[in-house]
Amino acid sequence: MTLPQSSLTDRIQTLDDVTARRLLTAFARAQTPPVATQVTPALAQALRELAPEPVTGPVTEGDAARAALLLLAQDPQQRPLLTALLDGPAPERFGVLETTALVSALLIVLQIHVRFERHKDGSYSFKIEKKPTDATVLKVVVQKLLTLMKVDL
């Protein structure tokens, strides 16, 4: 049974950092490979255009993962997989590659809503193709990703 968005949101907000990271990376592994899986300076510039204001305060990997999961919970097509991940056994650990896997997972989630196009000169542009119910959640995911990557906003 797929949970309604409000129930998913409540459950996601109470996840500890480790569980949030694991669920997000498990979700990302089930997706088609995206255009971008690492933050380059050119991609960071395009992301800054989506979220020009910096995050106030520290950001943990768990904060970023929860923000991405909350963005996914807004999409009715993603709710069945999120419900299965929340109700199923704990996804496997990634060990040393957890941060790299998390960054890739965050980019995969963003690309469900935003299409990044890489140009011949190496720069990126973006187009929001699937507007989330609450656009601020998309912005929060971008801000937390850039903060984790220590990219100046």
Q: Is 38 among the domain residues?
A: yes
Q: How confident is the model at residue 4 (pLDDT cuts 50, 70, 90)?
A: low
Measured over the CA atoms of residue 57, residue 116, residue 6 and residue 23, the dihedral's sign is: negative
Range of the domain at 12: 5-148
Q: Is 153 among the domain residues?
A: no
Could you read off the pLDDT of 105-117 as tens digits, one per residue?
888 888 887 887 8
Average pLDDT, the chain: 80
pLDDT of residue 96: 43
- State how many domains the chain has: 1
pLDDT of residue 97: 46
Q: How many residues does the chain have?
A: 153
Q: How confident is the model at residue 33 (pLDDT cuts 50, 70, 90)?
A: low
Q: Is 25 among the domain residues?
A: yes
pLDDT of residue 34: 62
Q: Is 36 among the domain residues?
A: yes
Measured over the CA atoms of residue 76, residue 81, residue 86 and residue 87, the dihedral's sign is: positive
